[in-house]
Structure 1
Amino acid sequence: MERSLSHIALFTALIAVLGLVPRIDLAAGVPITAQSLGIMLCGTILGARRGALAVLLFLLLVALGLPLLAGGRGGLGVFASPTVGFLLGFPVAAFVAGLIMERTTLAPFWAATAGAVIGGIGVLYLFGITGMAIMLGKSFSEASVLALAFLPGDVLKAVLAGLVTQAVARARPASLLARG
């Protein structure tokens, strides 16, 4: 239990640190950030349950006002912005990525990449596009077109999550909790 708590706290910190990478603001009000890579890694390395808990802890800290989101944003106000769908989708995305990692027998790279694509892109976009559509007063189709700007970077992050997960599996197999 103590080891799980340490991993959850560590990955919460990883998501926060990835928020220090300068964000790229888009016209829709949803920035491109490196934090979605942290969401993907929470699932692929920690597994479904622990990964989702790490993300929930991160969101709790953001809600309490800590400026942990890219650009130093935090507080309840971020949950009333065009980013709300992505924020609410973070724990679900990590859970799905972890579930795929836990349930598949593919090699770590392929399992993690598949989990990151399905959870960290597919599931996250479903939540994010819905939130953008509601908050921006656009149709789901219009919000989907806006979200296309994120796709190339997110595919790159999914491959990177696969490479990092594979490196962890090789260097410290016991640290890959999604397969433990």
Structure 2
Amino acid sequence: MSDSSLKLRMMIVTALFAAIIAVSAQLTIPLPLVPITGQTLAIGLAATILGSRHGTIAATLYLIIGAIGIPVFAQMSGGLGVIVGPTGGFLVGFIPTTFIIGYYLEKTSFTVFNAFIANIIGMFITLIFGTVWLKIIADLPWGAAIAGGFTPFIIGGLIKAFLAGWIGILVRNRLASANLLYATT
């Protein structure tokens, strides 16, 4: 397979992951301040499967699509107002999250164990960005911001980190063996 053909395939898979993140965002468990969504699972999968560069591009593309008003964020919302609103820190945190998950895996190895560790790190990055942003935008005291934007998501985040690591490595290996993705991203 030519290098240009593989580059085109990677562009297509990257765009597909932006769409997967958008669809996953609609899988929601509503909570008072910040809903639990499938977004973070999809972010972990994108980073685990695509690596730092293409995973980050997928997350960034997702944010751009949402920022211009296409309703791809949770509860079919979109627009710049969502990004600068109380939940915007979680969304913005997806960019460093995908990069760091992918980077960790590239510097260690793409194994289920390493993917689990990388996704736990990524979960905490997203939660820290989201909690700090929530505290500032909603003008909350730290205790309230942590109680609303961090603590309720730890158990679900660990479950999603495990799933993203396990499923992500399985899918990554299959895509790489089918020449649909760079063997090392």
| 2:8 pairs with 1:2 | yes
Which of 104, 110, 118 is equivalent to 2:108? 104
Which of 136, 159, 164 is equivalent to 1:161? 164
Pair 179,114 (structure 1): closer, same or farther in 2 beyond 3 Å? farther
Please give the alpha-carbon distance, in whole angstroms, between the structure 2 residues aligned to 1:178 and 1:112: 16
- TM-score, normalising length: structure 2: 0.88
- TM-score, normalising length: structure 1: 0.90
Please give the alpha-carbon distance, in whole angstroms, between the structure 2 residues aligned to 1:7 and 1:131: 31
Residue of structure 2 in register with 1:84 after alignment? 88
Please give the alpha-carbon distance, in whole angstroms, between the structure 1 residues aligned to 2:78 and 2:115: 29
Question: Does structure 1 retain, via aligned residues, the 8 Å contact 2:24–2:42?
Answer: yes
Please give the alpha-carbon distance, in whole angstroms, between the structure 2 residues aligned to 1:99 and 1:34: 22
Question: Does structure 2 retain, via aligned residues, the 8 Å contact 1:165–1:176?
Answer: no
Residue of structure 1 in register with 2:60 after alignment? 56
- Structure 2 unaligned segments of length 5 or more: list them: 1-6
Worse overlay, 32-41 or 159-168: 159-168
| 2:136 pairs with 1:131 | no
Please give the alpha-carbon distance, in whole angstroms, between the structure 1 residues aligned to 2:57 and 2:169: 22
2:68 corresponds to which letter in structure 1?
Answer: L
Question: Does structure 2 retain, via aligned residues, the 8 Å contact 1:49–1:95?
Answer: yes
SS of equivalent to 1:179: coil
Question: Does structure 2 retain, via aligned residues, the 8 Å contact 1:98–1:178?
Answer: no
Which of 5, 16, 32 is equivalent to 1:27? 32
Worse overlay, 163-172 or 47-56: 163-172
Please give the alpha-carbon distance, in whole angstroms, between the structure 1 residues aligned to 2:79 and 2:111: 36
Please give the alpha-carbon distance, in whole angstroms, between the structure 1 residues aligned to 2:89 and 2:72: 17
Pair 19,178 (structure 1): closer, same or farther in 2 beyond 3 Å? farther
Residue of structure 1 in register with 2:4 after alignment? none
Question: Does structure 2 retain, via aligned residues, the 8 Å contact 1:104–1:111?
Answer: yes
2:54 corresponds to which letter in structure 1?
Answer: R
Question: Does structure 2 retain, via aligned residues, the 8 Å contact 1:168–1:176?
Answer: no
SS of equivalent to 1:98: helix
Q: Deviations over 1:43-94 (max 9, x none)?
A: 1110101111111000000011111112101011102311011011011101
Question: Does structure 1 retain, via aligned residues, the 8 Å contact 2:89–2:133?
Answer: yes
- Structure 1 unaligned segments of length 5 or more: list them: none
- Percent of counterpart pairs with the same letter? 36
Q: How many residues align?
A: 176
Residue of structure 1 in register with 2:184 after alignment? 179
